[in-house]
């Protein structure tokens, strides 16, 4: 039996596939290696995974269901961890069709594969961005999340609704995971920690939006992977206490569940930048800018549900996490 990990050459997908392989599982990794960011880091991640003989790599666009089914024909897939998506909040304003293709059509392909091949559990990535205009902090899965303020978040909220329909129709256990600002080694070059580190080292200015007044629930990659695998190993059942006249958004009479995965200890962006400066032993040249379109000012995760149900509790604080990233970055780029 194999575990299918989509987006295996991506930041989170790489770490999930690595953890599964280290635990002795056979993993099929799907990725189309698109050029949204530097493909060299994607290929580096993939080469590490390919060094394990229990890893099978498939280059495929997930929205092409016929090719997906053909490539996976002959494999026994016990479960899916779906992490492939067009990422990036701001890019969704510029190129919404990329998100419609990957996040909507692509997710439909994954749902159809789960149905046709009768997988035991589908776990998929959602995002804290679905909370949108909600200002009821900390963000809880019990809150309605129907007011996203970017198209990216809208596609991820749509994924949650699409998954529920398949869980309801075909009894496919599905779990959606709302990630909160993931960071760490092998991170994405388009994200703040990576960009800040690169520009500070190059003596270039960093752009800090909302005049540095953002507050974020930064979550270290190892904690994210821990939450993903805890969820994957605990397929949801129908909630026997679910009330259709007072429906809870995070569960259902179908085998469906939504969890936050965060750190629940948010910090100010300027504190984050100060940590980067400290570990690089170099001051940043900062250009302060107003709040950017599509941004929210503060995020914080309510982890009571995933803690009580799955025993999840984040272990890595931001000081350790930023230090680990800086050490990885300096090592990875020293010969590049």
pLDDT tens readout for residues 202-251: 999 999 999 999 999 999 999 999 999 999 999 999 999 999 999 999 99
User: 125: closest CA among 188, 168, 175?
Assistant: 175
301 - beta bridge partners? 139
**Residues 286/204, Cβ–Cβ less than 8 Å:** no
Beta strands 55-59; 77-82: pairing state:
unpaired
Q: What is the pLDDT of residue 29?
A: 98
Lowest mean pLDDT among 1-10, 61-70, 88-97, 295-304: 88-97
Domains in the chain, number? 1
For residue 163, give its domain range. Answer: 2-183+220-263+300-315
Q: Classify residue 215: in a domain, yes or no.
A: no
Beta strands 182-183; 77-82: pairing state:
unpaired
Please state, in angstroms and rounded to a whole number, the distance separating the CA atoms of residues 320 and 302. 22
**Residues 188/134, Cβ–Cβ less than 8 Å:** no
Q: How much is the average pLDDT of 186-215?
A: 96
Q: What is the pLDDT of residue 331?
A: 96
* Distance (Å) of CA 76 to CA 2, 5, 24, 227: 6, 13, 16, 24
Q: Classify residue 191: in a domain, yes or no.
A: no
User: 249: closest CA among 160, 127, 132?
Assistant: 160
Residue with tokens 């800040």: 196
Residues 6+ apart with CB under 8 A from 226: 312, 315
Give 334's pLDDT tier (boundaries 50, 70, 90).
Answer: confident
Q: Classify residue 46: in a domain, yes or no.
A: yes
Coil, helix or strand at residue 28: strand
Q: Classify residue 190: in a domain, yes or no.
A: no
Given a cut of 70, is residue 335 above it in pLDDT?
no
**Residues 11/66, Cβ–Cβ less than 8 Å:** no
Enumerate the active-site residues: 152
Residue with tokens 């569960």: 251
Q: Classify residue 88: in a domain, yes or no.
A: yes
Sign of dihedral through CA atoms 330, 218, 307, 251?
Answer: negative
Please state, in angstroms and rounded to a whole number, the distance separating the CA atoms of residues 150 and 9. 25
Q: Classify residue 294: in a domain, yes or no.
A: no
User: 231: closest CA among 302, 172, 160, 173?
Assistant: 173
pLDDT digits (tens, 9 = 90+) for 298-316: 999 999 999 999 999 999 9
Tally of CB atoms within 10 A around 170: 15
Residues 6+ apart with CB under 8 A from 54: 21, 24, 25, 26, 27
Q: What radius of gyration, in Å, describes the C-alpha atoms of the chain?
A: 19
Q: Classify residue 130: in a domain, yes or no.
A: yes
Give 336's pLDDT tier (boundaries 50, 70, 90).
Answer: low
Beta strands 267-268; 215-216: pairing state:
antiparallel
Q: How much is the average pLDDT of 80-96?
A: 90
Tokens of 262: 């965060």
Q: What percent of the chain has pLDDT over 90?
A: 95
Tell me the whole-structure pTM to 2 decimals. Answer: 0.96
Tokens of 274: 């100060």
Q: How much is the average pLDDT of 258-270?
A: 97
Q: Classify residue 286: in a domain, yes or no.
A: no
Q: What is the pLDDT of residue 294?
A: 84
CATH of the domain at 67: 3.40.50.720
């Amino acid at each position: 039996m194999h575990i299918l990990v989509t987006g295996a050459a991506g930041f989170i997908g790489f770490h999930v596939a690595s953890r599964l392989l280290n635990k002795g599982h056979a993993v099929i990794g799907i990725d189309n290696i698109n050029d949204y960011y530097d493909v060299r880091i994607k290929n580096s991640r993939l080469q590490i995974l390919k060094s394990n003989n229990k890893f099978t790599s498939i280059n495929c666009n997930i929205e092409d269901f016929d090719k997906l089914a053909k490539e996976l024909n002959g494999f026994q897939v016990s479960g899916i961890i779906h992490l492939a998506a067009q990422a990036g909040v701001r890019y969704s304003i510029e190129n919404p069709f990329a998100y419609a293709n990957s996040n909507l059509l692509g997710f439909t392909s994954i749902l159809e594969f789960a149905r046709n091949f009768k997988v035991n559990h589908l776990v998929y990535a959602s995002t804290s961005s679905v909370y949108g205009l909600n200002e009821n902090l900390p963000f809880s899965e019990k809150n309605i999340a129907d007011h996203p303020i970017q198209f990216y978040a809208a596609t991820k909220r749509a994924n949650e609704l699409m998954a529920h329909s398949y869980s309801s129709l075909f009894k496919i256990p599905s779990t959606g995971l709302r990630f909160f600002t993931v960071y760490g080694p092998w991170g994405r070059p388009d994200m703040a920690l990576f960009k800040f580190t690169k520009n500070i080292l190059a003596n270039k200015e960093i752009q800090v939006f909302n005049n540095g007044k953002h507050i974020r629930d930064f979550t270290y990659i190892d904690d994210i992977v821990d939450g993903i695998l805890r969820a994957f190993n605990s397929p949801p059942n129908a909630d026997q206490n679910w009330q259709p006249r007072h429906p809870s958004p995070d569960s259902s009479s179908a085998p469906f569940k939504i969890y936050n995965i965060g750190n629940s200890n948010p910090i100010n962006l300027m504190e984050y930048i100060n940590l980067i400066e400290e570990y690089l032993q170099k001051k940043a040249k900062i250009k302060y800018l107003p709040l950017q379109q599509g941004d929210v000012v503060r995020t914080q995760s309510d982890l009571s549900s995933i803690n009580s149900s799955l025993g999840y509790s984040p272990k890595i604080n931001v000081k350790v996490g930023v230090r680990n990233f800086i050490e990885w970055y300096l090592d990875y780029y020293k010969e590049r």
